[in-house]
Structure 1
């Protein structure tokens, strides 16, 4: 991998991107940093998407200012992260992420030779003696600036800062190493990103095996970009992903939640899912499904595929979606299998077995992808409501239709019915029709249902 890359300067007359393509707050951040005599550029996705004819949504900024220097320029700035130290500048709900140019991670003894302004104390120790609290903070910041790798070569901490030429060499794909300069609206293309865009081919900067070991998430980013941007994965890159798929096990479960959402909830879920299966990455994200999705004609595979088609349609029609529905679908059959096993082994009632199975499946999946409670609780509620939707007895129907999770649970029941057919599809169709009739006729529909669980006769109390 090259230590530095040098740019081809593409003037504004040769490309379509302009300052107004950036969000107003991104433009404000860039101009503020430049006014403080720092270099600053918009980089990555916003440049790539605009050049490919799409509307940019995420705006990232890079600069030669250190995180502490960035914070000094903005009141509304906070520093985050230990693995990669970043500045978040907040404008209401919009957050502009600003990163310092990355340098190459070297041996610890060589790090003293990096740029002097980067290694300065965040607290000026020449003015006065530091308090114990300030000494502890200063030592922590210094420690965070060092790089650290695992035995597999994965970067655990990477706060070595450098020049823009080094930063470009550290980026993952060639089309992400393009920097937009707001001062003259030119683009600095460091790795022939324009060529990759024209040929619609994903090219990695440096040897793919090394880059995947540094950060295995780059594999699923490659899959996502190929699906989202309709680009090709070269055979060599595709082979490398299959060979290194196991490295995803090293990624923290919390980080994989956000990455999985980007993968499957961006309007290209079907294409992405099929590519994940092909490249052996799905088994790393959903190990409980590894065996169930081996057959494309199986109900497990078809349920997931049907859900992703519906989700893609909703996203492309600007309709609301939730990650809870995604995880409820992916994990339904493992949960159902676990429920049946508990009922068989312990003679447990179905409702109790389902609750225990739900807790167990969610716990096991969260060891791979950490699902926050705001989504895991709705998943379990959707699963529990499947039993109630299938019974349809007495006044329960009238009560159930007002449940906060009814609509999501009904949509899931309909999805299952369309996949499995038979009685389940008939019940789902009944609920479809039941929602359309006037409220004053709903009671008649409920009364017309066959009573499958006869009332138990009460035992008379013995006479005294």
Structure 2
């Protein structure tokens, strides 16, 4: 096993041992090594105190309450090994705020250090010097059984740090483990304690569940054990919200299955969140349908986008993720019958969504379809629409792609910077979206000379006017791209 440990980590351990201290790998890295997984982090624990650790290495830092020392290695090119963390053995006092210990004591035994850990599979230690394992709580046995179990009394462990309840579910989703019965019962019993945990910590653990191999399992367990109401209460409204029609599942299960589809395809955090939230507005907008439809959900994408924006803000998500997810939720209903839609309409969709989001929007549609329970991911109609998107991508879809700009128009017309200039540019874009052949300097210069005579209100109306249909002359262009996608 020593040969599986990076030389940078072994070097730190050897330096500690050479100075007369003990040095053990501990926690998740030992667990992952035994499972044949590549550890994301390498953590060492020792009987040396923080100041004794720092004295052994030329470059270190220690800026936390737990005595963890970061040993810096500038020579490695592996970013994961630039800093190897070394933490003194420690015991902990009471957790009066259910988040962090009131008192930390350094220099106790390895046994005392392992007793304070959350789960048996994380309470394993390995000494590189003599390849000795320390397993006080049969963590290796639980690894073989693929079981998560707390170290000692689960009520006490979750009372110390309520986030451990989410961590249990996250590890189950990451490792495809089962949670031991007593541990699971304790989570359900103590679920309310999660309300004492900061939004940031809940968000981070939630995102790790979302990014796991089995996020559907993770979300289902959050709900089953009573934690979802403290993480994403909006999702609970989807439980039992039947859809009818092509949908085999209620909105809740549909969203979880769409999320799992995104995970199975290895999609980004943003995509996974969009898959989970794309129909979040359906419970609010559901109405009884007519003869052919059991229910309708008119405007659910607009309502869902607003809900998404609010919950992203509440969870303090990074702005770039929040904005991206909101866009995908808002426009996930872009798909229409390609026999009735036009290239100009597709160009407008790209202009609204942003070309950088278009691939995600198409992929979200695939996840959405898988989540309905339908076997075929990309039927003919969808492949045809993708062909139209490819065609439209070759055309101008934003103001910055016009063969003119604000500076040129100001020189040409004497117009000052302001709203009118912006409306004029968008009016020109509308014309080019309708017919990309108009995107020439000559055409746009002539149109600028005409449009500048209009008042600000008229220009605004032109700039915001959507075009409904493209003329039949586009069909030839569509046919060409259809053939390349084998849909013609």
TM-score normalized with structure 2 length: 0.65
Please state how far the C-alpha of 1:180 moved relative to its aligned partner. 0.7
Query: Structure 1: where are the runs of 5+ without partners?
Result: 1-17, 107-147, 316-320, 342-348, 456-464
In structure 2, the residue matched to 1:119 is none
Q: Is residue 2:324 matched to residue 1:324? A: no
1:429 is displaced (CA, Å) by 5.8
Aligned counterpart for 2:105 among listed residues 144, 155, 160: 160
- 1:31 corresponds in structure 2 to 14
- Alignment partner of 2:171: what SS? helix
Distance 1:306 1:350, change over 3 A: closer
Query: CA contact under 8 A between 1:21 and 1:56: conserved in structure 2?
Result: no
Gaps of at least 5 residues in structure 2 are: 243-247, 288-297, 396-433, 436-465, 471-488
Report Cα offsets for 1:127-178 as digits up to 9, x if no partner. Answer: xxxxxxxxxxxxxxxxxxxxx622xx44355533242221111011222222
Q: Closer, same or farther in 2 for the Cα pair 1:183/1:440, shift >3 Å?
A: closer
Q: Which has the larger radius of gyration?
A: 2
Aligned partner of residue 334 in structure 1, secondary structure: coil
Asked if 1:303 corresponds to 2:254, the answer is yes
Report the alpha carbon displacement of residue 452 of structure 1 after superposing the two structures with TM: 8.7
Q: CA deviation at 1:27?
A: 1.9
* Secondary structure in structure 1 of the residue aligned to 2:150: coil
Measured against aligned partners, the alpha-carbon deviations of 1:74-132 in whole angstroms (never above 9, x if no partner) come to 455333445x45333455521433322221316xxxxxxxxxxxxxxxxxxxxxxxxxx
In structure 2, what is the Cα distance between the partners aligned to 1:357 and 1:269? Answer: 21
Over 3 Å counting, the alpha-carbon distance change for 1:400 and 1:292 in structure 2 is closer
Q: For each residue in 1:284-327, what CA deviation from the matched residue of structure 2 results, as whole angstroms up to 9, or x when unmatched?
A: 22111122125696442233232233234224xxxxx3211222
Would you say 1:100 and 2:88 are equivalent positions?
Answer: yes
1:424-463 matched pairs, under 5 angstroms: 430-436=381-387, 439=391, 453=468
SS at match of 1:65: coil
Partner of 1:14: none
Cα separation, partners in 2 of 1:43 and 1:404, compared to 1, 3 Å: same
In structure 2, what is the equivalent of residue 346 of structure 1? none
Structure 2 CA distance for partners of 1:281 and 1:294, relative to 1, 3 Å: farther
Secondary structure of 1:188 counterpart: strand
CA distance in 2, matches of 1:329, 1:313: 12
Displacement of 1:55 in angstroms is 3.8
Match of 2:439 in 1: none
Partner of 1:395: 344
**RMSD of aligned Cα (Å):** 3.9
| 8 A contact 1:62–1:99 mirrored in 2 | yes
Q: Which of 385, 393, 407 is residue 331 of structure 2 equivalent to?
A: 385
TM-score scaled by length of structure 1: 0.68
Is residue 263–residue 269 contact of structure 1 (8 Å, CA) maintained in 2? yes
8 Å CA contact 2:147–2:180 kept in 1: the answer is: yes
Report the Cα distance in structure 2 between the residues aligned to 1:29 and 1:286, rounded to whole angstroms. Answer: 42
Contact 1:40 1:61 in 2 (8 A): yes
CA distance 1:161–1:311, change in 2 (3 Å) = farther
Please give the secondary structure, in 1, of the residue aligned with 2:217: helix
TM alignment of 1:48-447, pairs within 5 A: 48-82=31-65, 84-90=66-72, 93-94=79-80, 95-105=83-93, 149-150=96-97, 153-155=98-100, 159-163=104-108, 164-294=110-240, 298-315=249-266, 321-335=267-281, 354=302, 358=305, 361-367=308-314, 369-386=315-332, 393-398=342-347, 400=349, 403-419=355-371, 430-436=381-387, 439=391
Contact 1:288 1:365 in 2 (8 A): no
